[in-house]
Amino acid sequence: MQADGGTRTAAITGAFVAAQDAVNGLLAAGKIAESPIIAQVAAISVGIVQGTALLDLEYTEDSACDTDMNVVMTGAGHFVEVQGTAEGAAFSRPEMDSLLTLAEKGITELMRLQQQSLSKT
């Protein structure tokens, strides 16, 4: 795993794959009868840099953004965490809504990649 600005979100997204892979192994070996995992999860960072909403901020963008937000969601589209901070300028409700929409699109793609990765194990 490689992470730049979004180390926490990358850790959450990667940890789900590792946990699901381990559970799949335990299920296949008959060590457990059912999965303790109740939902797929993934996380991503979004932010506003010079008036533009960006997905998956790299370090230079993260350190210079006006608004920084981390979003964690389940496969059903429910929010586990939304943590947003006005670092350079306060953000409006429409800006927050656009960041959440952008994060949801990114998380949907991450979940597709998680499933793709798990299908190869």
Is the pLDDT score of 1 beyond 80?
no
The Cα–Cα gap between 114 and 98 comes to 24
Coil vs helix vs strand at 113: helix
Q: What does the pLDDT read at residue 91?
A: 94
Q: What does the pLDDT read at residue 58?
A: 85
H helix intervals, 29-120: 59-64, 93-119
What percent of the chain is predicted at pLDDT more than 70? 95
Complete domains list, the chain, with CATH: 7-119 (3.30.230.70)
Q: Predicted confidence band at 59 (pLDDT cuts at 50, 70, 90)?
A: confident
Q: What does the pLDDT read at residue 121?
A: 64
Alpha-carbon torsion 33, 112, 9, 53, what sign? negative
The closest alpha carbon to 42, from 24, 62, 20, belongs to: 20
The answer to whether 44 and 107 have CB atoms below 8 angstroms apart is yes
What percent of the chain is predicted at pLDDT more than 90? 80
Q: What does the pLDDT read at residue 62?
A: 81
Which residues make beta-bridge pairs with 72? Answer: 43, 81
Is the pLDDT score of 21 beyond 70?
yes
Average pLDDT over residues 80-88: 92
Q: What does the pLDDT read at residue 32?
A: 97
